[in-house]
A and B are shown apart, each in its own frame.
Chain A
Amino acid sequence: MKLFRFLIVGFIFGIVLTKAEAVSWYRIYEMFMFQSFHMYGIIMVAIATGVIGIQIIKRKKMNDFKGNPIMIVDKDRGFARYMIGGIFFGLGWGLVGCCPGPIFILLGTGIYAIGLVLIGALLGTYIYGMLKDILPH
């Protein structure tokens, strides 16, 4: 049952991203062409909601559902890995129009060709793991 709540969160996530059309190649292309506010609106409202929520969590020193204090780990400092890795990711995002979440969601919508993108993404993750120590971070 411990996993069930995460299954439900994923289920809602899948429905929201499909109905928001954030899984759509067309919406991502339209976003990068600056021809619609739709995706920008989604991302900005999601961040605004998150910022407000996290500020409340931090200021009220809220606990998680088990009663443990909520700790949100800061990202490691750096520049190169975020910029270079980000550009690689963006090139892929712009090409096949999906990020890791939508890859899985689109499998559920019956777009089977996305399986090839998933295989590519697993290979890409593997290649990073093998090259990690020689890449600038």
Chain B
Amino acid sequence: MEIIYGTWHWAISGLLIGLIMLLLIYFGKSFGMSSNLRTMCSMAGANKHCSFFDLDWKEQKWSLAIVVGAILGGFVAYHFLQNGTEVAINPTTIKNLAAMNIDAPNGKLVPDALFSIETMMTFKGFSILLLGGLLIGFGSRYAGGCTSGHAISGMSNLQLPSLIAVIGFFIGGLIMAHLILPLLF
């Protein structure tokens, strides 16, 4: 049971993610999560004054169904498929984090230093979460896709634009992890 309740091996996880993408192709769709953000903006009324959001969101219902499924999947995995040994990251990483006063995982998926409700209520904590979201939403739409649309779908189809986007993802991520995070924490 360890194989289900513990951390899933990268090879099995990667294989399943690849198969999910292929299954969506077989269903006549393409794998991409960030386009749901655009759909949600349209549903909230952004289509009334901005042509970019002028789309028929009912045609995106299949994708919103994936979102609902993903939320349920997260709930089930977290509540029924855990054994407390999760997120066994590199001890060196834990030391780096401790130097920034970021708590170690100890089975948690995300640090309290960023995601606890108390942190969210502080000006700094609130700003970080909102800014992170802004960058993700703005950047993924600007680049025309996120990790699922470019890194997985696009690279699988050997698309040069997706390779450029993924290089951009890593430039941004490396700058953040190595240069900006140490200034923030």
Q: A-side interface residues toward B, CB under 8 Å?
A: 2-33, 35-51, 53-54, 57, 64-66, 68, 70, 72-79, 81-101, 103-114, 116-130, 132, 135
Nearest chain B CB to A40 CB, angstrom units: 8
**Chain B contacts for A104, CB-based, 8 A:** 33, 36, 67, 70-71, 74
Identify which of residues 123-168 in chain B touch chain A, using a CB-to-CB cut-off of 8 Å: 126, 128-148, 150-162, 164-168
Nearest chain A CB to B89 CB, angstrom units: 5
A16 with B148: CB separation less than 8 A: no
At the interface, is chain B mostly helix, strand, loop or mixed? helix
Contact of A32 among B28, B38, B46, B177 (CB under 8 A): B177
**Other 4 A-B pairs with CB < 8 A, given A23-B74, A81-B142, A120-B134:** A10-B67, A54-B22, A99-B147, A101-B70
Closest B residue to A39 by beta carbon equals B10
B141 with A125: CB separation less than 8 A: yes
Closest 8 CB pairs of A and B: A86-B168, A14-B73, A120-B133, A90-B172, A10-B69, A50-B156, A49-B18, A45-B14
Are A81 and B139 CB-contacts (below 8 A) given A29-B97, A123-B133, A129-B52? Answer: no
Contact of A86 among B71, B92, B166, B178 (CB under 8 A): B166
Are A16 and B16 CB-contacts (below 8 A) given A54-B156, A64-B26, A66-B28? Answer: yes
**Chain A contacts for B165, CB-based, 8 A:** 82-83, 85-86, 89
Instruction: A79 to B58: give the CA distance in the assembly, Å.
Output: 32
Closest A residue to B69 by beta carbon equals A10
**Chain B contacts for A4, CB-based, 8 A:** 65
Nearest chain A CB to B138 CB, angstrom units: 4
Nearest chain A CB to B80 CB, angstrom units: 10
Nearest chain A CB to B35 CB, angstrom units: 9
Nearest chain A CB to B96 CB, angstrom units: 7
**Chain A contacts for B150, CB-based, 8 A:** 75, 82, 86
**Chain B contacts for A110, CB-based, 8 A:** 75, 78
Instruction: A81 to B50: give the CA distance in the assembly, Å.
Output: 20
Identify which of residues 56-85 in chain B touch chain A, using a CB-to-CB cut-off of 8 Å: 61-63, 65-78, 81
Nearest chain B CB to A45 CB, angstrom units: 3
What are 18 A-B contacts with C-beta separation under 8 Å? A6-B63, A15-B81, A26-B89, A46-B14, A46-B156, A54-B25, A65-B26, A78-B161, A86-B167, A88-B139, A88-B172, A91-B180, A94-B180, A99-B136, A109-B78, A113-B115, A124-B37, A124-B138
